[in-house]
Structure formats: C-alpha cells, structure tokens
C-alpha cells in the first residue's frame, strides 16, 4: 500500500478534482516495511491491506505541502527552494538506502514504500528453495467460499469480495486477502504473514478492529478471510470533504482511532503503519463505524521493550523509529499526523524525496501559523502538538489523548492505560527522596489535570479507597486477550511486587502515576513546578551532598561540575532548579561527535 500522498490526482490548497468519486473498499496486499524503497519486482514486507496506487507520487499529493509562513508554492504546486531546512545533510535515509543496495545488488531502487530489512541471506536465489512455505492453515478454501470481483491490489497480492458457501459464514459477504507464496522470498516475509494472522486471531473483541474469520492456504496462495468493509477508506472521505474535516467531525474520527489504538497498546501490540488508508468504514453512511486494518507490519512488544527495525510509511513515521529505538509511542505520532491532516488538509512534514521526508520528520516543526490554523481552537492545536512532540516521553498516550480537554466527553470512556503500570512499577522501586518529590508534585495538580488519573484509579476498582497489586492484576486480566499473553504484558506485575505489601490511596497513586516528562510540556508547568517545590520544602527537602544527589540520579563524578546550582549553598538543600532536574532525571545521550552530554 502506498503513502497517503500516492493517490493519482492533483489537488491544490483549496479545491479537489470534480471527478473524484468514492471507490470500492480497498484491502490490497501491499505496504511498507523497513529501510528504503524496494527495488522493482521485489516484495519484502508481509501482505497487508491497502490501495492499488503507486507507492509515492509526491507531485500528485492530495494534501498541500506545509510551507513556512510567507513562502508561496511554485507554479507547479511544489515548494520552491526559497528556504533552507535547518541542519541540512547528512541524509537520514543514506544508511537505509545503502543497506538495501548491498542486499539487492547495484540496481537503483525505485521509489516505493519502506521495505522491511531482510538480514543476511534474506533474498531469493538458492536460499529461497529451502524456505518452508507451509503455514498449517486449512486447505479447503474453495469448498467454503466463492470468490468474486477484485476490490484491491498491491505489491504482494490482491483482495477479493467473496461469499460463504457453507458453515457459519454461509451467504455472508467477506473480504479475502490473497497473498502469493511466490512473492514470499525470505524467511522474514513468511514470518510476517504468519504473525499477521496470529495478530488478527489474538486481537479480538474491539468494535473498531476489523474482524478476522479464518485463514487458508493452497500450493500457490495464503487466503485471509476478514470482515468486508464497504464504506471506503478514511483517506477517500477526507478528499471527498475537500481535504479537511470540521473540528467536531474530526473528533468523532479520532475518538475511534484512539480507542482501538489504546486497546492494542494495552494488549502489547504496536501497529506501526497507522495512516488514513488503513482505516475503513463498514458502510457508506456518514456516521458509519470505522475499523483499523493492515496488521502486516504490527508486532508484539513487552511494556519495557524497545524495537529497532524501521517500518511504516514515510509521512507517518515517528522520529524515534528513524533512530531505531521505539515502542507504542510511535503510533501516537502517526495519529498526530492524521490529526493534523484532518484539521488543516495538509501534511505536517513534506519533501519531494523520502530522504527529505525523513529529514523533515527529524528536524522540522509543523506549521501552526498559516490558514486554517488561526481559526482552529487552541485546544485542538494543543492536542495535535502534544502528539507531534519529537520526544516520545512527552507524547500523550492514546488513553491520555481521550482525556484531553479537546476530546473529553462523558460519553467517551477512558480505557485502562499500560503507562500507569510502567510508572507505578518505577515509583514503588524509587528512593524515599524521589517518592517525596513526586508526592509534592501530585499535590500541585489541579482538578482538570487529575481527570485522567482519577479515571485510571477507578478502573483499578479500589477497595476502601485504596489499591494494591491485586487490583492491578485483576484490571489487566479483565482486558486480556491472546495477544496480551503473546506480548508477555502480565510480566510487568512481577516487577510491581513491592505493592504486595503496600496499598496506595488516590493521593499516592497520583504521585506514582505522574509522568514528569508529559507535565513538562504543560502550559502551566512553571506554576506546577513552583507550587510543587513549595510543598517539597515543607515535607521532603533535606540536606544533601552533590555526591549523594548524583548517586540518587545514577550519575558519575563527571556530572558533579554541572550540578553546582542544584543545591543551595545557604543550607545544603535542593534548589528549585535542583528539584526540577531531580524530577526530570538526567540521561546521557550520544551526540554526532560521540561526546557525552547531559540532557
């Protein structure tokens, strides 16, 4: 499946072509996967639902490019070279392109989706003959289903309408994704198909997830039988509306996206290819339910695990994915890009080449100054900005986004968030000084900031106003699916063992479940930090040496010189600067020059 910009039509900033019309549902079997555009004739990622369009045609984008204020587009409707990106080379795509060329020989790869890395000997040739392409699926597809017309096609196969001939699906229309075994030229490609089927089987029960019915195979193909969604893609609806949605309509779309993504993340599943093409409506009704599709690039991830393979679609890929260290937060970045498109009709990051897109994602900031942003509510802008934060630690989770003032609604339930498990796990293992600092911070929060935390506390079903490890265990088990077991999410409970001997009331739960990084981007952070420090002065501040503070923060002697103003010379206690630094924590990050610096 191609990128969102790959529809073969021309669109300017104000108008859409008059001949644009809704299409049949698209499921085709193509999409991206790691490293850089695949060479002609190669198929690397698993077959996934998508659209039958070129992978990239930047000059034919349905969304205008977000030029800086005051810079007009060239007559060709592409940005002229009237400004420079900050920090030009080196290209972030170069190592990706080089890896692909090494694997595929010297043929120049054509533009296309980001293919998945094969590793050593991942291509075809001699190794392909030894590949086991037997999946163990049923062999009687033809006896159970009657295939009809094709409704989508991609790089790795195609999707057809079909009708059940017998069994539970007799007489029912379904979508069948047909994946050619001939195009499974590596062990990774085979494993991707196997994992997609396992993912669809394991993830069940959410109204915004496409239903999986069964999988079959024969000598030539794998057949994945799924729910038929006849309302078309979200991308088509955006285009039919002139390129953007009114705020209220955008909210209705985003609530559905966030709800299903929160569900996936709780199960330990990261989608890794969220974009408008991968959301289908079940019918053509305006208020039709929307379903997420295309789990071909998805993966299981443990709560504290970081992934490192570069997968996704260039316009929607998160910065940390390009840095090869990411988790579920990358999906929220993609939702931020979708939100930006829904509200203003253009992409937040744009370039003519894949290398340029990557550079823009890593270094450029979205434009919130030009039309129509001045007419969009401050809450909506804040919502998008908090999803498009380049620091994944400061990005909202899906559950937090549903509790954001722009989306907050008593009709929209806030789901259980795996983040609170991670934060509470860290809190119960923290030093007394750090717990005191977090308790003071929790006291500084106002009622509006406590809505998300109160919802999470209530989901844990406190007894007598308190929660223990058992509450966390029961809440997780109530939401469990086979996917959660596969991703080993429940193992995080083993790291929360100190809660077996301790109970948390709501006040201490707030201290435990606060994300300092997320609070730091809050508009009222200075007020919150100052108020929190006043509480800390009363209850937790104490005399501390530079050596002891460094040990608390896991820093070595080399950091002593930078900590001079963190401790007051008058009484040897933490200063306001020291308190905020202590809350934030200090990490060592490698710069391009390989020197270590405090962040």
Mind telling me the catalytic residues? 273
Q: In whole angstroms, how far apart are CA 327 and each of 32, 300, 323, 333, 482?
A: 18, 10, 12, 11, 20
Sign of CA dihedral 368, 374, 377, 378: positive
What string of H, E and C letters represents the secondary structure of 481-535? CHHHHHCCHHHHHHHHHHHHHCCEEHHHHHHHHCCHHHHHCCCCHHHHHHHHHHH
Q: In whole angstroms, how far apart are CA 292 and each of 59, 413, 595?
A: 28, 19, 43
* Residue reference for tokens 């080399």: 558
Radius of gyration of the CA atoms of the chain, in A? 25
Read off φ and ψ for residue 537, nearest 5 degrees.
-60, -35
Q: At what angle do helices 506-513 and 418-428 cross, to 10 degrees?
A: 100
Task: Supply 406's token pair.
Answer: 């722009």
Tell me the C-alpha distance between 536 and 546, whole Å: 18
Helices (H), 117-232: 126-129, 141-144, 187-202
Please name which of 157, 180, 159, 149 lies closest in space to residue 27, comparing C-alpha atoms. Answer: 159
Tell me the C-alpha distance between 574 and 101, whole Å: 54
Q: Which residues neighbour 95 within 8 Å (Cβ) at sequence distance 6 or greater?
A: none
Backbone region of residue 216 per phi and psi (left: phi > 0; alpha: psi in -120 to 50; beta: other values): beta
3-state secondary structure of 178: strand
Q: In whole angstroms, how far apart are CA 174 and each of 48, 195, 354, 443?
A: 16, 21, 36, 54
- 170 in a known ligand binding site: no
Q: In whole angstroms, how far apart are CA 258 and each of 41, 209, 396, 402?
A: 36, 12, 11, 7
Query: What is the signed CA dihedral for 493, 495, 499, 505, rounded to 10 degrees?
Result: -80
Cβ–Cβ under 8 Å, residues 365 and 69: no
Backbone region of residue 471 per phi and psi (left: phi > 0; alpha: psi in -120 to 50; beta: other values): alpha
Q: Give the residue ranges of the annotated binding site for ATP.
A: 177
Per the annotation, binding residues are 177
């Amino acid at each position: 499946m191609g990128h969102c910009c790959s529809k073969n039509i021309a669109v300017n900033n104000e108008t859409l072509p008059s001949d644009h019309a809704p299409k049949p549902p698209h499921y085709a079997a193509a999409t991206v996967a790691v490293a850089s555009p695949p060479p002609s004739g190669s198929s690397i990622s698993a077959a996934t639902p998508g659209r039958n369009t070129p992978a990239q045609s930047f000059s034919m984008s349905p969304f205008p490019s977000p030029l800086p204020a005051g810079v007009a587009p060239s007559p060709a409707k592409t940005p002229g070279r009237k400004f420079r990106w900050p920090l030009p080379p080196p290209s972030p795509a170069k190592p990706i392109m080089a890896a692909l060329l090494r694997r595929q020989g010297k043929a120049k790869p054509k533009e296309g989706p980001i293919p998945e890395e094969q590793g050593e000997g991942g291509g075809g040739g001699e190794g392909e003959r030894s590949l086991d392409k037997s999946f163990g699926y049923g062999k009687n597809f033809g006896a159970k289903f009657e295939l009809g017309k094709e409704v989508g096609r991609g790089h790795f196969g195609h999707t057809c309408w079909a009708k059940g001939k017998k069994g539970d699906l007799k007489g029912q229309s379904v979508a069948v994704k047909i994946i050619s075994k001939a195009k499974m030229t590596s062990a990774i490609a085979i494993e991707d198909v196997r994992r997609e089927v396992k993912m669809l089987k394991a993830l069940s029960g959410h109204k915004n997830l496409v239903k999986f019915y069964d999988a079959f195979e024969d000598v030539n193909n794998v057949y994945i039988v799924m729910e038929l969604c006849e309302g078309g893609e979200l991308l088509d609806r955006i285009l039919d509306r002139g390129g953007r949605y009114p705020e209220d309509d955008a909210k209705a779309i985003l609530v559905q996206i966030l709800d299903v993504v929160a569900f996936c993340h709780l199960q330990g599943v990261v989608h890794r290819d969220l974009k408008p093409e991968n959301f289908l409506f079940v019918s053509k009704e305006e208020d039709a339910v929307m379903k997420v599709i295309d789990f071909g690039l998805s993966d299981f991830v443990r709560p504290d695990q970081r992934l490192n393979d570069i997968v996704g679609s260039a316009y929607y890929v998160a910065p940390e994915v390009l840095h090869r260290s990411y988790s579920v937060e990358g999906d929220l970045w993609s939702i931020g890009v979708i939100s930006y498109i829904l509200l203003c009709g253009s992409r937040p990051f744009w370039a003519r080449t894949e290398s340029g897109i990557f550079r823009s994602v890593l270094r450029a900031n979205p434009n919130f100054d030009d039309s129509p942003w001045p007419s969009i509510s401050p809450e909506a802008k804040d919502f998008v900005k908090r999803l498009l934060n380049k620091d994944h630690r400061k990005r909202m989770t899906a559950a937090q986004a549903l509790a954001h003032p722009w989306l907050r609604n008593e009709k929209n339930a806030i789901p259980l968030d795996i983040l609170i498990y991670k934060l509470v796990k860290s809190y119960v293992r923290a030093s007394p000084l750090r717990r005191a600092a977090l308790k003071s911070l929790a006291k500084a929060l106002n009622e509006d900031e406590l809505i998300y935390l109160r919802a999470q506390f209530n989901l844990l079903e406190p007894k007598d106003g308190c929660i223990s490890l058992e509450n966390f265990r029961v809440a997780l088990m109530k939401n469990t699916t086979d996917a959660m077991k596969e991703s080993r999410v429940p193992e995080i409970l083993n790291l929360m063992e100190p809660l077996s001997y301790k109970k948390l009331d709501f006040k201490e739960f707030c201290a435990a479940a606060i994300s300092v990084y997320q609070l730091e981007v809050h508009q009222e952070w200075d007020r919150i930090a100052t108020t929190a420090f006043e509480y800390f002065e009363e209850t937790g501040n104490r005399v501390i040496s530079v050596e002891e503070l460094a040990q608390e923060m896991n820093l070595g002697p080399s950091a002593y010189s930078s900590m001079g103003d963190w401790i007051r010379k008058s009484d040897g206690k933490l200063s306001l600067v020291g308190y905020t630094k202590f809350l934030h924590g200090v990490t060592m990050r490698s710069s391009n020059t390989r020197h270590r610096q405090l962040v």
